[in-house]
Amino acid sequence: MGEMAERAERFRFVDFPAVLDDLRADVLEGLACQPKSIPPKYFYDAAGCRLFEAICAQPEYALCRTERALMDKHLPAIAAATGPVDCVIEPGAGDCAKVRTLIDALHPGQLVALDIAGAALDAAAGTLAGEYSGLSVTALGMDFLHHLEAAAPYLASGRRLVYYPGSSIGNFSPGQAVDLLARFRQLAGADGQLLIGFDLKKDPEQLHRAYNDAAGVTAAFNLNLLARLNRELEADFDLDRFRHYAFYNPPAGRIEMHLVSLAEQTVSVAGQRFPFAIGETLHTENSYKFRGDEFSAIAGRAGWALTGEWALDGFCVQLYGETG
């Protein structure tokens, strides 16, 4: 069999529809609430993905670099702790960059990568399939928050590990995190495991700087959400009349990101009009920070039992297996 045909045998991409409808419904619902809010998953259009990559390169935002260093340092110990794994599942796989080191260490037979940005996932997962000759790669273009259970028929049997790096879990409320981790638990099945990375609680000044970088990249990332609504929902946000505002809220244990209206104004979105008072906020993201024991209590409520923990410079990776 030729190289191309052989790769085609091992790679498949399946797209799940309805992204635009979800965007419209979620945005209209969020703008009608008090305080106004928009789910953070909508940051990640093509421009938003590029801006997030740029955030990861900012000197103030160490999260991505530290997780990479942690994985490089502790991967042999992590692989020893997981034991043999047949199938790695990565929700929110993006450009499939992070999962490579894990594949190198665990040698699974199958990777199932899920991401809302279907076209980018298709390209990245296809490239990855070309590089790992023994690996079957299934890329599912889906909003896994809606469609996660639809991934089940694509999973090979055997021992599964859900990989959820990058502190993405911090972008959910603790209650939502329990629900999501319980759904991961269902997907992982008997003898399944979860390897998850999250940002640890640390000096609030350091956290504040990470979400208020001097180059203004996080501000541009936040404001791009409004630009996206202008592009995709025929909205008329004036980006000069909203200010990026991010701060650490110690009692809640989270960074909050807002877009604050600098004027009294009315904005039109998908044919509906929304008034903003001066100083009114549009809440765009929470980013929870945890202590290790706080996080294992959340995972415990979702049916996971802690089996390993590695920490480096304010970042933590934990490994879980099934309880009972």
Binding site residues, ligand AVI, CB under 6 A: 55, 63, 166-168, 170-171, 211, 218, 285, 287
Residues 6+ apart with CB under 8 A from 142: 15, 16, 114, 115, 116, 118, 148, 150, 151
Among candidate residues 284, 283, 264, the one with its CA nearest the CA of residue 274: 264
Nearer to ligand AVI, 257 or 267 (CB): 257
CB 52 within 8 Å of CB 124? no
Q: How far is the CB of 49 from ligand AVI (least distance, A)?
A: 11
Residue, CB closest to ligand AVI: 287
Give the nearest distance from C-beta 285 to ligand AVI in angstroms. Answer: 6
Nearer to ligand AVI, 108 or 197 (CB): 197
| Alpha carbons 16 and 13: distance in angstroms, whole number | 10
Q: Least CB distance from residue 124 to ligand AVI, whole Å?
A: 17
User: Which residue, 55 or 71, is less far from ligand AVI as judged by CB?
Assistant: 55
DSSP state of 213: -
Nearest to 75 by CA among 197, 158, 160, 201: 197
CB of 131 to ligand AVI, least distance (A): 25
Residue 10 or 68: the one with the smaller Cβ distance to ligand AVI is 68
Could you give the C-alpha distances from 135 to 6, 100, 107, 142, 192, in angstroms and in order?
11, 11, 8, 21, 19
* Least spacing, CB of residue 44 vs ligand AVI, in Å: 9
Q: Which is nearer to ligand AVI, 55 or 85 (by Cβ)? A: 55
Residue at token pair 């929870």? 288
Nearer to ligand AVI, 63 or 96 (CB): 63
d(CA 99, CA 7): 19
Q: Which helix (H) or strand (E) holds 304?
A: strand 304-312
Instruction: State the minimum distance, in angstroms, from the CB of residue 282 to ligand AVI.
Output: 15
Residue 154 carries which side chain, given as an amino acid letter?
Y
